[in-house]
Structure 1
Amino acid sequence: MGRSPQTVELRHSQLRFVAREIGAHSNAVTEDDLTTFFACYGEERGPETRKSYRAAVRAFFD
Structure 2
Amino acid sequence: MANIITAIRIVCSIALLLFPAFSPPFYSLYIVAGISDMIDGTVARKTGTVSALGS
What is the TM-score normalised by the length of structure 1? 0.35
What is the TM-score normalised by the length of structure 2? 0.39
Q: Over alpha carbons, which structure has the higher Rg?
A: 2
Q: Pick 1 or 2: higher relative contact order, CA cutoff 8 A, min separation 6.
A: 2
